[in-house]
Amino acid sequence: MDNRPIGFFDSGLGGLTSVYELHRILPEEKVIYLGDTARTPYGSKSPETIRRFAVQIVDYLVSKNVKMIIIACNTVTALTLDILRERYPDLPILGVIGPTVRKVADDGCRKVGVIATKATVNSDVYGKSLKAIDPSIEVYSLACPAIVPLVEEGFTDTDIMELTVRHYMDDFVRENQFDDLILGCTHYPLIAKQLNKLYPDIKLYNSSAEVIREAKEILEENDMLASGSDLTDRYYASDLSENFIAMTDLLFAGTDFRIKLVKLED
């Protein structure tokens, strides 16, 4: 048994979708989440900048005595997972990409679309990882950089979001005819409803959720599950945007939590 919290982080509020899944599957676990809302979005920044931010945040979470870190961001996972694991070799650090790739491959998907940030698409991490498992899988990737800022601004369920999604996706879907779509950004589960409505024949894979399945396995295997902890969940943000607070209130209503502003040193 290990009642220390699990550390999560993302560029903003997208990674809260992973925490939501954790609460659904492992309700006894406690969370420290850090959303870098002052510097979101990450997906259009350089790899060097993303690495610098990620190291800073992981150092912060480690100082809070977490038992595991979940990088609830595809962009950070794509660019920093190896570096972070090297920096903290004794701490389980999970990224969202590996578990998603394994699930898609296990399900026998043949033609797979991936939507993600520019940095994730440029890294081609999904294409490379899927093809490493089965070179005959066809992978089509598309960057949708305007979606994260719209989600951060609270435009999730609006006509503007629908137009934006169609602007990116209509041709992509028509030209590539894939059956399965990886939501390769943890902000995108928040627009799953629109995606299902616009493209009802496409099956969605949620990177925010897949990582929690693997986290559960690791915690079980290492006897690290929490039980009966009286800690409070903590949601920290580097800038306390109204929408971060509203989304946290919405997703975690009924649970015991605190929201706090955290200044990250540069």
Which one of the spans 85-93, 101-109, 131-139, 183-191 is the region binding ligand DGL (CB under 6 A)? 183-191
Verify binding: residue 74, ligand DGL, rule CB under 6 A: yes
Window 83-122: residues binding ligand DGL (CB under 6 A): 117, 120
Q: Are 139 and 114 in contact (CB under 8 A)?
A: yes
54, 119, 185, 195: which is the annotated catalytic residue? 185
Q: Say whether residue 43 binds ligand DGL (CB under 6 A).
A: yes
Stretch of residues binding ligand DGL (CB under 6 A), selected from 72-80, 161-169, 210-218, 234-242: 72-80
Q: Which residue lies nearer to ligand DGL by CB, 120 or 206?
A: 120
Q: How far apart are CA 49 and CA 47, in angstroms?
A: 6
Which single residue brings its beta carbon nearest to ligand DGL? Answer: 43
> Judged by CB under 6 A, does residue 42 bind ligand DGL?
yes
* Binding positions for ligand DGL, 2-31, rule CB under 6 A: 10-12, 14
The yes or no reply on residue 147 touching ligand DGL (CB under 6 A) is no
Q: Does 185 bind ligand DGL (CB under 6 A)?
A: yes
- Residue at token pair 């794509």: 78
Residues in the chain: 266
